[in-house]
Amino acid sequence: MSQKNNLGIRILELRKAKGWSQTELADKVDISYAQIGRYETKGAQPPAEVVKKIAEALDTSVDYLLFGSTGDKANAALHDAEVIRYFKEIETLPGDDKAALLRVIAAFIRDVKTKQTYINK
C-alpha cells in the first residue's frame, strides 16, 4: 500500500474516532468535503499546509499522518478524542504538576480496579 493511501486511511480513522463527517473535518480545515474524500479514498496528496491543519484538527501530528510514526501510535489506539486531548495537555504541564496529576490518576485507577475486584467476587 502506498504512503498516500496510508495517509488517507489515517485521516479516515482519526476522523471517525472523533465522530466527525467529512464535512465537519472539511469545515475545520477550511477546504471542501469532496477534497477530504479525495484524500481519504483516492490517494490525493494534500499540500503541506493542509496536512498541518488536518493534523491540528484531528489532535495528532503531521508525522503520524504522513508516516504512522511509533511516537503517535497511542493516538491511533485511543478512540476517545477527549482522553487524547487531556493527555496532550498533561504532557505540556511543568514537571512537578505533571507528576502530581499522574499520581492522582494512578490512585484513581487503582481504587476503581480495587472496587471492581470486590464487586466481581
Q: Are residues 89 and 69 in the same domain?
A: no
How confident is the model over 18-65, as pLDDT tens digits? Answer: 899 999 999 999 999 999 999 999 888 999 999 999 999 998 888 888
Q: Are residues 64 and 115 in the same domain?
A: no
Residue 38: per-residue pLDDT: 94
| Average per-residue pLDDT for the chain | 84
In 1-121, the DSSP E strands lie at: none
Residue 30: domain span: 3-77
Answer for the pair 39, 11: CB distance below 8 angstroms, yes or no: yes
Q: How far apart are the first and last CA of the chain?
A: 48
Cα separation, 99 vs 88, whole angstroms? 14
Q: Are residues 32 and 86 in the same domain?
A: no
Q: Are residues 94 and 68 in the same domain?
A: no
Q: Are residues 112 and 68 in the same domain?
A: no
Q: Which helix (H) or strand (E) holds 117?
A: helix 95-119
Residue 2: per-residue pLDDT: 45
Q: How confident is the model at residue 119 (pLDDT cuts 50, 70, 90)?
A: confident
Judge if pTM exceeds 0.95: no
Q: Are residues 13 and 30 in the same domain?
A: yes
Q: Are residues 93 and 68 in the same domain?
A: no
